[in-house]
Amino acid sequence: MAITREQVEHVARLAHLALSDDEVERLTGELGAILDAVGKVSELDLTGVEPTSHPLDLVNVARVDEPEPSLPREEALANAPDVEGGFFKVPPAIGAEPSA
Amino acid sequence: MIDTLRLTAEEAMGLLKSKEVSPRELWDAYRAAIEERDEELHCFLSLVDRPEGDGVPIALKDVIGTKGIETTAGSKILKGYVPVFDSTVAARVKQARLPVLGKTNLDEFAMGSSTENSGFGPTHNPWDLTRVPGGSGGGSAAAVAAGLAPWALGSDTGGSIKQPASLCGIVGLRPTYGTVSRHGIVALASSLDQVGPTTKTVRDCALLYRVIAGRDPLDSTTAEVPPVEIPEAEDLDGVRIGVPPELNEAEGIEPGVRENVERAIELCLELGAETVEVSLPRSVEYGVPCYYLIQPAEASSNLARYDGVRYGLRVGDGTYHDMVERTRDAGFGDEPKRRIMLGAYALSAGYYEAFYGQAQKVRTVIADEHRAAFEQVDVLVSPTSPTVAFPLGAKTQDPLAMYLSDLLTIPSNMAGLPGLSIPCGLSQGLPVGFQIIGPQFAENTLFRVGHALERALEFDYVPERLR
């Protein structure tokens, strides 16, 4: 199953990856070969078979709704590349569309 | 003089208990072994300088979050990340007073079967430095095999504990899905990931599994776990063993691997077990394709969190979107990019039903086939890996060939089943692994079968070149 260069570029945008031209080229070939192999699952007629999303039959786990101490703010921010005034700081997002 | 190459964790416990050796002496012995041999092996990504706890030291795969100790998952995107909380597994290890020696190398985000995808260079196999230790948990397996740690923890999604254990000639357990907490573990594919022990003996494996297993309020996917029994019996009376042809005669299994596994099965019969004919008609044929849809799909979702905002690498200062895209392009290696792309494609509009939806149904078929087999047998057996350790570089240019390394470990993983790999002999001077699979929560059965067989096999786990 072939995948086109345009499809690879589209998926890269969905996945927030700024791939280089070389990477797009290489991945177009590699993903095509992998999709050929995994596409084998479509050989089986599985009409009426229920999908499995989780290997155990677990039901929702609830806990008592009581407040507990959470991670202190300074610890939550300790690994951030940039912080300001107790918040994560990022470059402007509003009014700045992706360049790709 | 402590011989860390030969000493089991259980024996180390005995030395501490009888006060023949102090905790500090034991720690120093492993540190000395690391000094001596890790330069050529590259098992560790980081080392802890001072022991915390007076028990038997342990090494942890670098996906296991450790408070105050850098945790990278083998990725440059997490270089310098120091968790501010312990994973539940790390907390349990501390509670058991096991001092952490360091964090071990792995394929980036546990994606791989050779440790060559590590962002920080590969680990080498202690039996032959020109060969891979397996992966993704090659660092933990090689560390135990080379006497750099008495035992270690890994994580297994498609075979990342079992396959490296097989290639390094030691014992590895992938426990039943839901028995060990994933709170604080770097996630790869959440419906598959499971933490488990890598050890020299089956008894060590059971002892360490007992430390980490159990329900955790911080991980809602954990279940109640039956009490762990440390195996004693040396017979296999009454044990029914299934030998599915699909797992034992699959294309790509090396003749030397097959011979060793057949000999181990004969030994099981001599120990009192009986074999029963069972088959897994579609599980093996469709296991790898099914896995390489579900796992990348879940990975693409889990790895969305690496965006340069809360932790890890940040590259670029243009707009927010530019920054996120550039950070991810610079921080992720080739394999995570490949899997993110594959997963995002399989989940994208127009392809979801044909790929991801269909794979989830195949997963039901695989689980049903295994369930049917376990109505007739107590365990299923097969080679763990179709091959012995392969040369470094042999499969790095061919992702599909690398994916097939997990051909025999993936099917039972898809069904959430536990699997134990024990060494059963040598082929071309390299270890062969014997896989024992059980129904969900049957770890005690795996320990029993593994222990009895281990005793009968008398495999020497010290790599020949280090004896």
What's the complex ipTM?
0.93
**Coil, strand, or helix at residue B394?**
coil
Closest chain A C-alpha to B309 CA, distance in angstroms: 6
Residues of A (9-68) whose Cβ lies below 8 Å from B: 11-12, 14-20, 23, 27, 30-31, 33-35, 37-42, 44, 46, 49-56, 58, 60-61, 63
CB contact under 8 A, B365 and A14: no
CA-derived radius of gyration, chain B = 21
Contact between residue B296 and residue B358 where contact means Cβ atoms under 8 Å apart: no
Test mutation, B300, B362, B397, B413, chain A, max A CBs within 10 A: B362
CB contact under 8 A, B337 and A27: yes
Domain assignment present for residue B267? The answer is: no
Q: Which residues of B5-20 are buried (b: 16+ CB within 10 A; e: fewer)?
A: bebbbbbbbebbeeee
Residues of B with CB below 8 A from A44's CB?
A: 282, 286, 358, 361-362, 365
Does the domain at residues A5-43 carry the CATH identifier 1.10.20?
A: yes
Domain assignment present for residue B268? The answer is: no
Strand residue runs (E) in B42-161:
44-47, 58-61, 100-104, 152-156
Closest chain A C-alpha to B36 CA, distance in angstroms: 33
Question: d(Cα B49, Cα B28) in Å, to the nearest integer?
Answer: 10
Distances in Å between the Cα of B77 and the Cα atoms of B2, B60, B320, B428 are 39, 20, 17, 38
CB contact under 8 A, B282 and A44: yes
**What is the CA B444 to chain-centroid distance, rounded?**
18
Question: d(Cα A15, Cα B327) in Å, to the nearest integer?
Answer: 12
pLDDT of residue B316: 87
Domain assignment of residue B94, given as a range: 9-246+371-466
Test mutation, A1, A5, A16, A36, chain B, max B CBs within 10 A: A16
**Coil, strand, or helix at residue B190?**
coil
pLDDT of residue A62: 83
**What is the CA B49 to chain-centroid distance, rounded?**
26
Test mutation, B84, B303, B341, B360, chain A, max A CBs within 10 A: B341
Residues of A with CB below 8 A from B157's CB?
A: none
| Residue at B207: amino acid letter | L
Domain assignment present for residue B1? The answer is: no
Closest chain A C-alpha to B87 CA, distance in angstroms: 14
Residues of B with CB below 8 A from A42's CB?
A: 354, 358
The torsion angles phi and psi of A50, rounded to 5 degrees, stand at: -75, 140
| Closest among B9, B102, B8, B5 to B59, alpha carbons compared | B102
Q: Which residues of A25-49 are buried (b: 16+ CB within 10 A; e: fewer)?
A: ebbbebbeebbebbeebeebebeeb
Residue in chain B closest to A58 (alpha carbons) equals B221
| Closest among B314, B81, B78 to A83, alpha carbons compared | B314
CB contact under 8 A, B221 and A56: yes
Give strand pairing partners of B382: B435
Distances in Å between the Cα of B289 and the Cα atoms of B387, B404, B424 are 20, 10, 29
pLDDT of A2 strictly over 90:
no
The secondary structure element, H or E, covering residue B424 is: strand B419-427
Q: How many domains does chain B have?
A: 1
- Residue B70, both tokens: 């850098």
* All structural domains of chain A with their residue ranges: 5-43
pLDDT-derived band at A100, boundaries 50, 70, 90: very low
Contact between residue B307 and residue B328 where contact means Cβ atoms under 8 Å apart: yes
Asked if residue B113 has a cis previous peptide bond (ω within 30° of 0), the answer is no
| Closest among B91, B9, B89, B87 to B55, alpha carbons compared | B9
pLDDT one digit per residue (tens) for chain B, 467 residues: 899 999 999 999 999 999 999 999 999 999 999 999 999 999 999 999 999 999 999 999 999 999 999 999 999 999 999 999 999 999 999 999 999 999 999 999 999 999 999 999 999 999 999 999 999 999 999 999 999 999 999 999 999 999 999 999 999 999 999 999 999 999 999 999 999 999 999 999 999 999 999 999 999 999 999 999 999 999 999 999 999 999 999 999 999 999 999 999 999 999 999 999 999 999 999 999 999 999 999 999 999 999 999 999 999 888 999 999 999 999 999 999 999 999 999 999 899 999 999 999 999 999 999 999 999 999 999 999 999 999 999 999 999 999 999 999 999 999 999 999 999 999 999 999 999 999 999 999 999 999 999 999 999 999 999 99
Instruction: Write the DSSP symbol of residue B169.
Output: T
Distances in Å between the Cα of A18 and the Cα atoms of A13, A15, A32, B303, B328 are 7, 9, 20, 15, 7
CB contact under 8 A, A56 and B304: no
Residues of B with CB below 8 A from A19's CB?
A: 329, 337
Q: What is the CATH number of the domain that holds B160?
A: 3.90.1300.10
Residues of A with CB below 8 A from B178's CB?
A: 55-56, 58
Question: d(Cα B101, Cα B237) in Å, to the nearest integer?
Answer: 40
Please name the residue ranges forming H helices in B111-201: 138-145, 162-168
CB contact under 8 A, A38 and B357: no
